[in-house]
Structure formats: structure tokens, C-alpha cells
Amino acid sequence: MKILTVIGARPQFIKAAAISHGFAQYDAIQEVLLHTGQHFDSNMSDVFFEELGIPKPAYNLGIGGGLHGAMTGAQLAGIEEVLLHEKPDWVLVYGDTNSTLAGALAASKLHIPVAHVEAGLRSFNRKMPEEINRVVTDHISTALFAPTATAMQHLAYEGIPAERCHQVGDVMYDAALLFGERAKQQSTILQQLNLIAGEYVLATIHRAENTDDLQRLKIILQSLGEISQTLPVVWPVHPRTRKLLEQKTLHGLLGNKVQLIDPVGYLDMVMLEQHAAVIATDSGGVQKEAFFYQVPCVTLRDETEWVELIAAGWNQLVKLDDTNEVTQTILGAKLKTSTAIQPYGQGNAAVKITSYFREI
């Protein structure tokens, strides 16, 4: 069986590491990796393949940047050419990026079955490009691998046949178990940044709803600046966000104590997550990783797909309309108590997904 896997962004590299490792154990499964190039910076792409032991992609389309329509259209055309050449039995896509949508659309138009890892997530905010991507991908997929019971409920509510849907757990939990200890052994990022474990805030901001809304972005920046007067703040800045800060001359809102650093490799990011006092993020993946490493998290969004973490107290939402509220929520998060839960499986999602393809 030949499976063509489409990846293009950092979270997808992490998920692919776990599943590609599973596929590699069986000669009957041939995986062909296609990298769209959606994340093109070496710190956001190349280093991940090296650290995670992912095979070098057979194809790299080099399509990144630009408007959503142009990017998705170019990826769709590029993926279609590869599919016509490779003639895979399945196309495997991850998450909710433009690469996900392009891969699923290209496959469906050629009548190649699509498998979607991380199916069934919903923010119920159709203004988010990611929400459109995940909904459309789910509805054209043949095999939907859902991480949680809540995700399965969403798929059932939308009328997707039950026989297509499989609750397997979260492959990011697999990766956290696989690479968490390796990060402790290999990463020196804390020493490089002069950070003390448990005494800093880790921030990540990249979603369009925050970076493209100047008022929301200013509140985030002012809040991080205020927090840095109490706790060190380190922020690995997405290239797109860094460019925006420069264009709008917004650095002054941060003050001079927030450490802006370039994107880091996966092991360094895991190390920063594991040892933060609080994580402030708008990333879906980072929210979960905070939970995996038992670190309080504040999500800088109006809603989240990972509702289980909100209900149990591991994660808090904060509306971005008042700087003081954001500041106090982040500083106070380390004092919260949380309920013990295990909604994302046992760390064997990749095994279950691999078994599905072995058995069909």
C-alpha cells in the first residue's frame, strides 16, 4: 500500500514523526512524504526533520507565503501533479492548514481516498481560515482519525457516517512522550537564554485573528511588556509576525525586557514549554503541549478547539479587549489548580492509525 502524506507546517511535522515511525515498521506500507513548503524558514522546517527523524520529503513544492487563496491554489496544483505521478492508494493529511485542505481537495478530485488525522475539531468560528479548512477536509475524507470523544461527537452531529470515524487519541501526545525526555537531555536553550526553570513566561502568537487585528495585537504586546516587569518573557517570533512588528513599528509596546527570539527547533521548544511558569499562546498545538507537560496555559483567543482543557482548568481563555485583564490572567495562571484528566488517549494513536491501514 502506498500512502502519500502531505505536510507543510511545524505541527504537522511533529504529528508525522509519530505516524511515519509507525509506518516504517511495516514493509507492506510505503509512505511518500510531500512537503508543500508552507513553513519555509529553516528553523521552522529543516531542523524539525533532523530532530524528529522524519525521512527527507520526496517532494518539496516550496509554496509558502502570500494570500490564502493564492497559496492554497498553488499547493492544489502542485499536489495534483505529484498524485498523478505517484498514484497512491491513500492521501494522508494532518490538522487544519492550507496544506491540509489542498491535499484533501487534490486527492478527492482524483478519487483517491483521504485520511484526516486530528479530525472533528471545531472552534465554531467560521472567520478562522483553520475552521474552514478542517470542516471541508472532514467532509471529503474517507477515514477520520479523531483525537477525543468531543471530536467524535462533532463528526456525528454533522452527519459524517460513523464507520468512517475512529477515536484514536492524539498523535501529539505520542510525540510528547517520545521526545520530551530527549529534549531534557539534548537542549541547552535555557542556559542560552539565561532562563531559570519555572520562572518565566513563554509566549507564542501567530494566528491571523491576532496578528491581522491591530487592536488585539497591541493589547497582546502591551500585556507582554507589563508581564516582563514581573517575570521574564520569552517569545519565539513567527517570521510573519516579526515582519508585521517591524512594518507597524510596534516594538516599543513591548518595552525592553521581552526576549524576542527566532523560531526554535522542536526539542528547544519542548524544553521551553516543559519549564515555563505559564504559557501564553494562540496555538492549538502549544495548548495541548502545555497540558502534556503540566504547565498552566492562557489562550489568547475567544474560543478554542480543546474544550476539555478549559473545563478541567488546565487552560484559560482570555478576551483581548483589556490589557490589564490579559496581564492579570497570565500572571495569575500559575496559581490555578487543575483537575487530573486524560482525554487524549494513552500515547498510542500512531499505533492505532498504522493498524487501520494494515487491516484494510
Q: Is 261 exposed, middle or buried (0-12, 13-18, 19+ CB in 10 A)?
A: middle
Measured N-to-C along each axis, helices 129-139 and 98-109 cross at an angle, to the nearest 10 degrees, of 30
Of the residues 206, 238, 251, 275, only one is catalytic, namely: 206
Consecutive H or E run containing 217: helix 214-227
Q: Do 206 and 241 form a contact (C-beta atoms < 8 A)? A: yes
Return the closest-CA partner of residue 90 out of 75, 112, 110.
112
**Greatest extent of the chain over all pairs of C-alpha atoms, in Å:** 57
Q: How far apart are CA 94 and CA 5, in angstroms?
A: 9
- Quick one: cell of 248? 507597524
206 is catalytic: yes
Return the closest-CA partner of residue 179 out of 311, 270, 81, 60.
270
Q: Kindly state the DSSP code that residue 198 receives in the 8-state scheme.
A: T
In 53-204, alpha helices (H): 68-86, 98-109, 129-139, 149-157, 171-186, 189-192
Q: Is 65 exposed, middle or buried (0-12, 13-18, 19+ CB in 10 A)?
A: exposed
Q: How far apart are CA 115 and CA 95, in angstroms?
A: 11
List the catalytic residues: 206
